[in-house]
Structure formats: structure tokens, C-alpha cells
Structure 1
Amino acid sequence: MLIFDADDTLWENNVVFERVIDEFLEWMTHPGLDRGGVRAVLDGIEAANAVTLGYGSKVFLHSLGECVARLRGRAATDEEAARISGWAAAFDGDRVELIPGVAETLAELARRHDLLLLTKGDTEEQQRKIAASGLVRHFRGVHIVAEKNTATYEELTRAYDLEPGSAWMIGNSPRSDILPARSAGLNAVFIPHDRTWVLEHGELDPADEKILRLPSFGALLRHF
């Protein structure tokens, strides 16, 4: 069984958030606080909100508003709130940008193996992206969860009666894809993405032989 992450593994995602963050940092930066300082405040707010509110563009926009309030020492004005709301358009639409090699590689892998899709975030938002990708036909099952931790992977292996040692989790996020999957006894394939969200970073054990590191999605065909 091959289990796939979605955002930034199958299609581009964080680059959209980073474009908005670049504009936000330009807007909020002032002589008393540089871009790095503003970003540090925003990262802290996002980390806290991920625990209580989850993930997705709505939570992200809420975090921007909270960051404005934190930095200004007051609630956002109507004008500031309208500017933040305007960034919602960046996340609308019914198209996603597949990462190179994904479509043809998944089609071939689906002929060889059972595939599952495991993604976290806002259910409606993730469903929209999955539908827009045109990839759902390749998967035996699709799972949208609030968080991807060890318990999530253990529950998935029970639901499909999998032997953890014969299953592989494939993704770009050390924190959500690789480390908890390994903790649950699964093998893992790490395909790095140079724009992975900072909150998804993590240290992987270079001596862990159950983690396969690949340079691209298409390289999966050489191993599976």
C-alpha cells in the first residue's frame, strides 16, 4: 500500500500562501520591525492557531488579522480587515497546479499498487482541491483529517488491515508525513519541496533505513 500526501506532494500549495505572506510582510514592515521580525510574529501565531483552529486558508487569513492586531496594539481597522479579506481570492478557484511528473507517475503506480490519499486541513477546501486535481480515480480511499500524527497513521493501518512494515507514506513534510508515519511503524518516502511550510519542517534521522529520500515524484517508479 502506498499512501500519498496531497499539498506540496501532488500539487503546489504553499507557494500560494507564501505569495500572500510576501505582500503582507511588505505591508506590515516598518522601521521598528523588519520583515524577519514580522514573519517571526506571524509564524508564532500560525503555530498556535494550528493547534486550536486547524489548517487552511480561512485559518491563515484569521492569523493575518491577529498578526495585525498584535503588531498595531489594537484591533484591525475596517480598512485593514478589508485588505486581509481581499487575499481570500488567492485561494479561490477550481484549478490546482500539479507538480511535474505526478499525473503520469500516479497512473502507472495505480496499475501496480493500491493507493491511498491522506491530507489534512479544512474538509471543504481539501475536497475542492482533490476534485480539481483529477487524480481521485487512482486512489482506493481518500482521507481528510484534522491532524496527521502517529495516531492517525495507526488508525489508517487498522482501517485497511495493513501490515505497517509493508506500507509506505509518501510526502514532503517531515513533521506530518515522515516522522509520525515512522513512529507508527510505516516506511516513508521523503520528496522534499523547496517551499515547504516552515511549520512542517523537522529533522530526519539520516541513519533510518526505512526512509527513502527521492529527488522527484517521478523517481517513485524506479522503486515501486
Structure 2
Amino acid sequence: MSQTSQHIIFDMDDTLIHCNKYFDLILGDYFEWMTEWFQQYGVTTQDIRTKQMEIDVAGVDKMGFASVNFPKSLIATYHYFSKVHGRGRSPKEEELLFKLGLSVYDQEIEAYPGMIETLEELRDEGHQLYLYTGGESKIQTRKIEQMKLAEYFNDRIYIRQHKNITALEEILSLGTFDRSDTWMIGNSLRTDVVPALTAGINSIYIKQQREWQYNLVELKQEPHNVLYTVSALTEVPEVIQEHLN
């Protein structure tokens, strides 16, 4: 590596490949079912959306990125409105909701625009690339294999169910990272940017037009290290190059 080579850690979901849009598609079906079932009680889509988000976020805080958390949040929301309005709960409806929630993990995987070009450019410039993703190993490994991401990251791939400062510090302790030359690239303020700044490494926040509520937190402290905000993955190589100049 050259003296300007950097250690660049990439998030995967909604940084390199699409993720949230598939949850939105499933939630679209869910809201249709729920508003139909609870129509006579005056329950609105916004009522359902707000409660499901509340339950979903609380579940991730407790369980991390476990695959069952999303379908469980759909059923728990169903239970909530059933109890509030005195509507009977149906095992058949609960089974439908659980299958609907799990179906989000069967969606076709799609890369963000410029994913290959961005990774190839950074690799060809001599930077060392790492992948750090949150979720269950089986699900995340399938995505990695389908996108052929090992071509860029080799064995430098880390999958963690909880994605926080503790997990990031563990990863940083596994390698010979010079923190001033290390970057975290991701779309989540909560799980990418805040842990990176806390760990004293650089960060590039890829701000998405539509973001999962869980990812949005306030940056309470002024970062003492580097933080850039971009709107597209393809901006990352230029940002890093300009920083090094």
C-alpha cells in the first residue's frame, strides 16, 4: 500500500445494496390488510404506521437485527389494535402477517447505482476495503454471495447482529487499523456515523431521501474527527481523495 492508502469500512444495507425499499413494499401490503380489518373502528394507515414503527424500533434496540423482529412487529401491532378496539384475534391472520413479514428477506437483491464502479475505483487506488453489516449471518451471507462482494472484500467481512460502538471497537481491535486512516461509510447515523465518531475514525454519511426511523438520531457532540455528508455512493472516492490532497 502507498502512504495514502486508507482502511475503508463499508456498511452494506442501503449503502451498497437496497434494503429499506423492500420493507416499504411489505408495509404497503400490511397497511392495506390492517386498514381493511380495522376499518369499522376508524383506524387509519398513519395510526398503524406510527405504532408499528414504535414497536419495530423497540425490538431492534433489544434484539438487534434479528430476522424475526420485523414480522413480530407486524403481529404485535395487530395485537395492540385488536385489544384497543375489542376485535377478536385470528390465528389465520397472525400466520398471514408472520409470512408477510418474513417475505421481505426473499426479495431480489439490487445494488445501489455505482456500487461496482465505486468499489473498483477505491480498490484500484490501493485502499483496503472492509464490509461491516448488521443482521443474521445466513441472510447477510446470501446477499454478499449474490452481489459477489467477496471479490472486493475477500475475508475482510464482518457480520454482527448488534451494530454499535462495542461491535465496531471489536472489529477495529482485530486488525492493524490506524484510526486516522480509517473510514466508516454508511447510511445510518445511529449504527454507522455515531459509533465511528465515538471510536475516533473518519466517517462518510450517505444521506438517503427516505430513511428508516431507527437510523435517525441527533449528533449530540461536535465530531473531533472527519465527518462528510454525501447524497450518493459514487461521491465517496472523490471525498476521500480530496481529503488526502
Q: Does the pair score TM above 0.5? A: yes
Provide the residue aligned with 1:96 in structure 2: 109
Query: Contact 1:9 / 1:99 at 8 angstroms: preserved in 2?
Result: yes
Q: Which has the larger radius of gyration?
A: 2
Supply the distance in 1 between the matched residues of 2:164 and 2:64 (Cα, whole angstroms).
Answer: 13
Percent identity, aligned pairs only?
30
**What letter matches 1:32 in structure 2?**
G
Does 2:157 correspond to 1:142? yes
Question: How high is the TM-score relative to the length of structure 2?
Answer: 0.83
Q: 1:207 to 1:49 in 2, by over 3 A?
A: closer
Provide the residue aligned with 1:42 in structure 2: 52
Provide the residue aligned with 1:124 in structure 2: 138
**What letter matches 2:207 in structure 1?**
P
Unmatched runs of 5 consecutive residues or more in structure 2: 1-6, 241-245
Supply the distance in 2 between the matched residues of 1:34 and 1:2 (Cα, whole angstroms).
Answer: 44
Aligned match of 1:160 in 175, 197, 203? 175
Supply the distance in 2 between the matched residues of 1:172 and 1:135 (Cα, whole angstroms).
Answer: 18
When structure 1 is superposed on structure 2, of 50-59 and 12-21 the one drifting more is 50-59
Does 2:32 correspond to 1:22? no
Cα deviation 1:56-86 (Å, max 9, x = unaligned)? 5432112111111111127841221232144
Q: 1:154 to 1:223 in 2, by over 3 A?
A: same
Q: 1:181 to 1:174 in 2, by over 3 A?
A: same
Aligned match of 2:128 in 104, 109, 114? 114
SS in 1 for 2:68: helix
Supply the distance in 2 between the matched residues of 1:99 and 1:205 (Cα, whole angstroms).
Answer: 30
Query: Contact 1:11 / 1:97 at 8 angstroms: preserved in 2?
Result: yes
Unmatched runs of 5 consecutive residues or more in structure 1: none
CA RMSD of aligned residues (A): 2.0
Supply the distance in 1 between the matched residues of 2:230 and 2:221 (Cα, whole angstroms).
Answer: 13
Provide the residue aligned with 2:243 in structure 1: none
Question: How high is the TM-score relative to the length of structure 1?
Answer: 0.91
Does 2:211 correspond to 1:211? no
SS in 2 for 1:46: helix
Provide the residue aligned with 2:205 in structure 1: 190
Does 2:222 correspond to 1:222? no
Supply the distance in 1 between the matched residues of 2:144 and 2:113 (Cα, whole angstroms).
Answer: 17
Query: Contact 2:203 / 2:228 at 8 angstroms: preserved in 1?
Result: yes
